[in-house]
């Protein structure tokens, strides 16, 4: 199987390396950052253009920031789809609006190309160690065919329904993650304000009902003041914008999402857009003057 992967950013680069480690050696990659491309070439991949990827790969995969980027790469002038033919498959691992996934799939269907929308959760650490969670939308037979490929990058690969279901599930995931991080920052700020060591609070409650993967990953970062991005605030803003758009379209009520989005937007406006989303703690620091753990 010949695989094409476009997008070698924080997530895409380690995911590409794990495809190679998983035994899929025929990998062609592309990215605007030529240093990232060269790093993958050094690992055994080859560099390719849109035309080369579209015309020669059995499956084309993308890991890009948002809907416009995926549409431009696939459907734009000289986009990959213009070089594809019936029988090829497109797997978009980006986190985009479910409506956009459905629109792209409809265009590709006109030339006989099937699609899966397969966004991931887990951030850079899980991209590196190949334990991402894949949430997939698309036909069952296409999913079964490519599940082993996705499993080289993730510990969980679940089909959630037809096209768009993967990204709808990812939006639900991003709501839960953002609201958990906000609650964690608020709780640890309360603890420190009351004179209790946030580290001890974390140790005491992480094994109980309040414990979570989010807490285990983000509490140590808040306490250490570590804002190195595993997942950037600006990317979470993008996801929650998509969540709000989807919610408005289907008539869902999401007040918690709107609240945490305003906090993230405040942080973006104050120079923190490239910080890890655990930097929600900085919002509470601004309000209270308290730095968690310090």
Q: Model confidence over 65-85: pLDDT tens digits?
A: 999 999 999 999 999 999 999
pLDDT of residue 284 exceeding 90, the answer is yes
pLDDT value of residue 26: 98
pLDDT of residue 201 exceeding 90, the answer is yes
Identified catalytic residue from 17, 71, 126, 170: 170
Phi, psi of 250 (to 5 degrees): -100, -5
Closest by CA to 81, choosing from 49, 56, 113, is: 113
Percent of residues, the chain, with pLDDT higher than 70: 100
| CA torsion through residues 131, 238, 254, 227, sign | positive
Lookup result for tokens 């590409």 = 16
Q: Model confidence over 117-161: pLDDT tens digits?
A: 999 998 898 999 999 999 999 999 999 999 999 999 999 999 999
Could you give the residue ranges of the DSSP H alpha helices within the chain? 12-21, 34-43, 50-56, 67-75, 98-109, 123-128, 140-151, 165-193, 198-205, 213-224, 233-250, 255-269, 281-288
Q: How far apart are CA 27 and CA 188, in angstroms?
A: 45
pLDDT of residue 230 exceeding 90, the answer is no
pLDDT value of residue 294: 86
Reported confidence tier of residue 214, pLDDT bands at 50, 70, 90: very high
CA dihedral 64, 65, 67, 69 (to 10 degrees): -60
> Which 3 state secondary structure label does DSSP give 59?
strand
> Which 3 state secondary structure label does DSSP give 254?
coil
Name the average pLDDT for the chain: 97
Q: What is the pairing mode between strands 3-6 and 59-62?
A: parallel
Q: Give the largest CA-CA distance in the chain.
A: 65
218 is catalytic: no
């Amino acid at each position: 199987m010949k695989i094409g992967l476009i997008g070698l950013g924080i997530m895409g680069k380690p995911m590409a390396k794990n495809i190679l480690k998983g035994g899929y050696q025929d990998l062609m990659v592309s990215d605007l950052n030529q240093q990232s491309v060269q790093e993958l070439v050094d690992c055994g991949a080859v560099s390719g253009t849109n035309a080369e990827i579209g015309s020669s790969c059995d499956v084309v995969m993308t890991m890009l920031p948002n809907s416009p980027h995926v549409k431009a790469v696939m459907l734009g002038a000289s986009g990959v789809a213009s070089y594809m033919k019936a029988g090829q498959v497109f797997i978009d691992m980006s986190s985009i609006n479910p409506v956009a996934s459905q629109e792209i799939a409809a265009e590709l269907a006109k030339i006989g190309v099937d699609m899966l929308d397969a966004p991931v959760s887990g951030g850079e650490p899980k991209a590196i160690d190949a334990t991402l969670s894949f949430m997939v939308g698309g036909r069952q037979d296409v999913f079964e065919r490519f599940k082993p490929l996705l499993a080289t990058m993730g510990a969980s690969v679940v089909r959630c329904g037809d096209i768009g279901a993967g990204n709808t599930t990812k939006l639900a995931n991003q709501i839960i993650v953002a609201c958990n991080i906000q609650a964690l920052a608020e709780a640890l700020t309360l603890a420190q304000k009351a004179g209790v060591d946030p580290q001890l609070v974390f140790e005491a409650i992480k094994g109980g009902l309040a414990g979570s993967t989010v807490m285990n990953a983000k509490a140590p970062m808040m306490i250490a003041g570590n804002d190195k991005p595993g997942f950037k605030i600006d990317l979470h803003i993008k996801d929650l914008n998509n969540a709000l758009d989807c919610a408005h379209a289907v008539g869902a009520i999401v007040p918690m999402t709107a609240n945490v989005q305003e906090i993230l937007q405040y942080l973006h406006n104050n120079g923190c857009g490239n910080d890890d989303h655990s930097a929600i703690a900085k919002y509470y620091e601004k309000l209270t003057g308290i730095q968690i753990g310090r």
